Amino acid sequence: MTLLNPLLSATSRPPVMEARRWVEGRDFPADRPLINVSQAAPVDPPPDMMRRAMADAVLQQDEVHLYGPVMGLPPLRAALSDNIDRLYGAQIAAENVAITAGCNQAFCAAIASLAAPGDEVILPAPWYFNHKMWLDMGGVRTVPLAVGPDMLPDPDAARALITPRTRAIVLVTPNNPTGAEYPPALIAAFRDLARVRGIALVLDETYRDFHSKPGAPHDLFTDPDWADTVIHLYSFSKSYRLTGHRVGAVVASPARLVDVEKFLDTVTICPAQLGQHAALWGLRNLDDWLAGERIEVLARAQALRDGFVPLARQGWHLLGCGAYFAYLEHPFDMPSDRVAQMLVEQAAVLALPGTMFTPQGDAGGHQQLRMAFANVDATGIATVLSRLGGISV
């Protein structure tokens, strides 16, 4: 007899892995290689100067190879709190910071501290699929919040979805998958709604360092009582190319972090030491380098916007574009999961369909595609757009 957890069995399979199966066993000619825009992760290693610092840590610091504090290295917690203070004009203490094994774990830990089976969490749709998957695994009901044509959620629409079982509203900005940047006033409106209704606002800012506007993306941390409502999530993976080292963070009240610590101790015991040392070195030494990375990502986003005009004439729509992502509406009379596979077959382009980011049967998801362009230079972006324009049904 095979015994399976019904919640886990009912959870969708990992979308990126599913997409990779579409290209398994396929040969792509040298003059038309596969362009992979399916995954929002840097493909380059960390900069050489960081890698040298990591190598020195491996050779010279014995503690890198041992268990560390469950909540992360104290110097890294302090450095991230200082970083947040400088960016947001805030006064965050190291005691508000817990380091996690990537930002996915930060989300899981935050939700574990908030919701039990049968509770509800509101996610704007399209959503980040791993958020939905974690809620499904835990028996927490996902309540979809449809976004508008500008890919922004509406606080009034969210208000109508809150029930006695609601525990949190989750926002991701810049957004995965749509690329939309939520204006500060909109973020504040969601904070106000969450505070009045006694629920949490979970704010995932994985792509914070690639925001197109200068200065702070919002002013939530200037509120001295921010921690009664806001749970902030951050990732070092995208900023410093540390995806394989899994370093993220939860920023919340010390009282909440008591329960977060229980989760982290049970799941990982401690974040990986080498990745934490790298993140700390990055915070101390790579401000200028990271500023250059941001400029390059923003330039690629602009190249995509500029190059989209011919596709628009063919009935495509650019719904959102920012940080690592472009979110597209295709013109074909078929669901986006079939269109995405057709892109592999006809265009040698691997992108993810909107059906992976939306509720089952969602009409919008059937017409949408996500393209993660941050790993494709301007020439590659032009090639992708040209190939999309050559698709025929």
Q: What is the pLDDT of residues 193-219, one digit of tens each?
A: 999 999 999 999 999 999 999 889 999
Q: Are 247 and 279 members of one domain? A: yes
Q: What is the pLDDT of residues 41-97, one digit of tens each?
A: 788 899 999 999 999 999 999 999 999 999 999 999 999 999 999 999 998 999 999
Task: Judge whether residue 288 has pLDDT over 70.
Answer: yes
- Give the Å distances, CA to CA, from 205 to 33, 77, 179, 231, 236: 33, 17, 12, 11, 11
Q: Are 247 and 311 members of one domain? A: no
pLDDT (0 to 100) of residue 240: 94
pLDDT (0 to 100) of residue 276: 97
Could you tell me which of 274, 290, 248, 288 has the C-alpha nearest to residue 53?
274
Task: Judge whether residue 393 has pLDDT over 80.
Answer: no
Could you tell me which of 380, 359, 360 has the C-alpha nearest to residue 371?
380
Beta carbons within 10 angstroms of residue 142's beta carbon = 19
Q: Are 299 and 342 members of one domain? A: yes
Q: Phi/psi of residue 121, each to 5°?
A: -135, 135
- Summarize the confidence of residues 162-168 as an average pLDDT: 98
Beta carbons within 10 angstroms of residue 380's beta carbon = 15
pLDDT tier, 177 (very low <50, low <70, confident <90, very high otherwise): very high
Residue 350 belongs to a domain: yes
67 SS3 class: coil
**Hey, what are 196's tokens?**
């009045």
Q: Are 16 and 156 members of one domain? A: no
Task: Judge whether residue 235 has pLDDT over 80.
Answer: yes
Question: What is residue 46's DSSP assignment?
Answer: P
Q: Is 324 exposed, middle or buried (0-12, 13-18, 19+ CB in 10 A)?
A: buried
Residue 216 belongs to a domain: yes
Q: Are 168 and 269 members of one domain? A: yes
Question: What is residue 24's DSSP assignment?
Answer: T
Q: Which residues contact 330 (CB under 8 A, 6 or more apart)?
A: 316, 336, 339, 367, 368, 369
Angle at 34 between CA 206 and CA 42, to 5 degrees: 20
Residue 65 belongs to a domain: yes
Q: What is the pLDDT of residues 298-307, one digit of tens each?
A: 999 999 999 9
Q: Is 335 exposed, middle or buried (0-12, 13-18, 19+ CB in 10 A)?
A: middle
SS3 content of the chain, % helix, strand, coil (to 5): 50, 15, 35
Task: Judge whether residue 17 has pLDDT over 90.
Answer: no
Residue 239 belongs to a domain: yes
Q: Is 59 exposed, middle or buried (0-12, 13-18, 19+ CB in 10 A)?
A: exposed
- Summarize the confidence of residues 285-293 as an average pLDDT: 96
Q: Are 87 and 132 members of one domain? A: yes
256, 286, 316: which is the final residue of a domain? 286
Residue 1 belongs to a domain: no
Compute the half-sphere exposure of residue 162: CA atoms within 13 Å on the CB side of its CA.
19
**Which CATH number does the domain housing residue 365 bear?**
3.90.1150.10
Q: Are 279 and 296 members of one domain? A: no
- Summarize the confidence of residues 269-277 as an average pLDDT: 96
Q: Which residues contact 294 (CB under 8 A, 6 or more apart)?
A: 209, 210
223, 254, 286: which is the final residue of a domain? 286
pLDDT tier, 1 (very low <50, low <70, confident <90, very high otherwise): low
96 or 32, higher pLDDT = 96
Q: What is the mean pLDDT of the chain?
A: 95
Could you tell me which of 109, 107, 58 has the C-alpha nearest to residue 263?
109
For residue 174, say if its preceding peptide bond is cis, omega within 30 degrees of 0.
yes
Q: Which residues contact 365 (CB under 8 A, 6 or more apart)?
A: 125, 126, 336, 353, 354, 355, 356, 357, 358, 359
Beta carbons within 10 angstroms of residue 50's beta carbon = 21
Q: Are 323 and 211 members of one domain? A: no
Long-range CB pairs of 155-163 (<8 Å, 24+ gap) are: 155/186, 155/189, 155/190, 155/192, 155/193, 158/122, 158/190, 158/193, 159/193, 159/197, 161/122, 162/122, 162/197, 162/199, 163/120
> How many distinct structural domains can be found in the chain?
2
Q: Are 157 and 227 members of one domain? A: yes
Q: Are 196 and 336 members of one domain? A: no
Q: 273-285 and 74-88 are packed helices; what angle lies between their axes, rounded to 10 degrees?
A: 40
Q: Phi/psi of residue 129, each to 5°?
A: -65, -30
pLDDT tier, 287 (very low <50, low <70, confident <90, very high otherwise): very high
234, 266, 286: which is the final residue of a domain? 286
Q: Are 55 and 40 members of one domain? A: no
Q: What is the pLDDT of residues 310-361, one digit of tens each?
A: 999 999 999 999 999 999 999 999 999 999 999 999 999 999 999 999 999 8
Alpha-carbon gap, residue 278 to 281, rounded angstroms: 5
248-251/230-235 β-pairing: antiparallel
Residue 185 belongs to a domain: yes
pLDDT tier, 254 (very low <50, low <70, confident <90, very high otherwise): very high
Q: Which residues contact 255 (CB under 8 A, 6 or more apart)?
A: none
Residue 117 belongs to a domain: yes
Domain that residue 246 falls in: 48-286
Task: Judge whether residue 250 has pLDDT over 70.
Answer: yes
Q: Are 224 and 362 members of one domain? A: no
Strands (DSSP E) found in the chain: 35-36, 97-100, 120-125, 141-146, 166-172, 200-204, 230-235, 248-251, 317-322, 325-329, 349-350, 352-353, 368-372
Task: Judge whether residue 251 has pLDDT over 70.
Answer: yes
**Which CATH number does the domain housing residue 153 bear?**
3.40.640.10
pLDDT tier, 155 (very low <50, low <70, confident <90, very high otherwise): very high
Question: What is residue 262's DSSP assignment?
Answer: H
